[in-house]
Structure 1
């Protein structure tokens, strides 16, 4: 099997051109093995690019544990770059993912990915919760550098208010110049990742609502820098949300499965 490795601000993915629909997508153990960093290729997730009669392509995303996942923003930017590299579209694309339709624009450096509208930010047991294509908790802290993201994030991820599915957990610290530093514990990976696209989107929206940060919000992650732009309607709904940042091919390989 030929595979492609892409990364978006350090969030890395195995990309497979599955327009023939021959990949064994039901084999969770295989996908988990391919994502394993010691015994496989190594990645935060695996993404299939499949055909769709109504769109340029379909994005099918699997977490590193092999289970099909909810929307992944950095993965979305990576599959857009992948589709562009394959010559599927020129500059603008329209594709379908598990959370619905997305559009994106490509330039030499960045992918601008339109995210799904967000209609509700809620308080769940004292924690700020919202869904940006995937479920996220946002917690603002004063010293993010020294925080034990894995221990703190895991405790919230598995806590009762977010069962049975659990949640991703983002810890954020406001810096100068409309910028937020974000670190994320991702469910399915069950660890801190270098970046999380739906997570930084969640942080930007909460920072606007609670702290009056204005669009576009600049995001610093361990893996690099992103921007999130958005419009807020009178009823509090966020629309025209764009996740903006780089996505790059790392290497191409072949593996026997």
Structure 2
């Protein structure tokens, strides 16, 4: 048996288990992580993160992210904001924190007791896919983006599961799938099917970032500041475009809040 101290946080309904692994946190197996994330018999979460000591000079900590299926995964934008709030509750760093993750170094700013602004990695231009109606973009995690005029009526679970496992994404272990409805200038609505969770989540930070960048590239080239509505709340995405069509200074802003904390025996 292991006794594990944990905290649970959420960012726009995207919920996470967080562990302080700087000192003596137990090593968890993939089945144990999966059991902790299970909603009926565990704590319940879209993913689990460990906050670890960083070997990178100037970084306050390292973020390691695991999907609900127990497998270690790529960057999570909502998770990044939540782990920054967790670090603050642990007394790590100041109002602006710097950490490293699977996709590189991130800086984040605590705006108030609810909102956190996270700097995402620079990314290239969206790739138009062979079907002629969708795009692919890596924003710390891989994302498929497709526009729709009927977001509320989509069967995101069925469509997302099919696209996520398409042969053209097999080499990267599958992709996250985003459906986007343009609601106005600088306003979009997004629903996301996440790999590793294998279901629709209430929000996806790297997903809404990809959705905003693709919307700029193909629908609203004059807009660099997007308000994004998800099932779990509102997120903001701002960015700059370089002369070569790539994106820099990408910022994801949204809530990051502690729900509860405790100890569980596994």
Same fold (TM over 0.5): yes
Note the 1:27-46 alignment, pairs <5 A: 27-46=29-48
Name the CA distance, whole Å, in 2 between partners of 1:210 and 1:29: 42
TM-score where L is the length of structure 1: 0.97
Shift in Å, 1:150: 0.7
Which of 8, 11, 16 is 2:11 aligned to?
8
Aligned pairs, how many? 256
CA deviation after TM superposition for structure 1 residue 110, in Å: 1.0
Once residues 19 and 140 of structure 1 are traced to their aligned partners in structure 2, the CA distance between those partners, rounded to angstroms, is 42
Q: Is the 1:130–1:202 contact (alpha carbons within 8 Å) kept by the matching residues of 2?
A: yes
Q: Do the aligned partners of 1:184 and 1:196 also contact (CA within 8 Å) in 2? A: yes
Q: 1:153 aligns with which of 160, 185, 193?
A: 160
Aligned-residue offset at 1:176 = 2.3
Q: For 1:6 and 1:85, locate their aligned partners in 2 and report how far apart those are by CA, in whole Å.
A: 11
Instruction: Pick the aligned partner of 1:120 from 109, 122, 125.
Output: 125
On the 8 A contact 2:193/2:201 being kept in 1, the answer is yes
Q: Which residue of 1 aligns with 2:98?
A: 94
1:43-122 correspondence to structure 2 within 5 Å: 43-53=45-55, 54=57, 55-108=59-112, 109-122=114-127
The ranges of structure 1 where at least 4 consecutive aligned residues each deviate by more than 6 angstroms after the TM superposition are none
Question: How many Å separate the matches in 1 of 2:89 and 2:25?
Answer: 21
Q: Provide the rounded CA distance (Å) in 2 between the counterparts of 1:73 and 1:23.
A: 25
Q: What is the CA-CA distance between 1:63 and the residue it aligns to? A: 0.1
RMSD, matched Cα: 1.0
Contact between 1:124 and 1:161, CA under 8 Å: does it hold in 2?
A: no
State the 1:162 CA deviation.
0.6
Q: Where do residues 234-249 of structure 1 align in structure 2 (5 Å cutoff)?
A: 234-249=243-258
- Runs of at least 5 residues in structure 1 that lack an aligned partner in the other structure: none
- Is the 8 Å Cα contact of residues 18 and 48 (structure 2) preserved in structure 1? yes
CA contact (8 A) 1:125 1:161 kept: no
Q: CA deviation at 1:177?
A: 4.0
In structure 2, which of residues 223, 228, 249 is the aligned counterpart of residue 219 of structure 1? 228
Shift of 1:125: 2.4
Instruction: Please list the CA deviations of residues 10-52 of structure 1 after superposition, one character each: whole Å capped at 9, or x if unmatched.
Output: 0000000111153314x10000000000111000000000011
Query: Is 1:199 aligned with 2:207?
Result: yes
Q: Distance in 1 between matches of 2:257 and 2:39?
A: 19
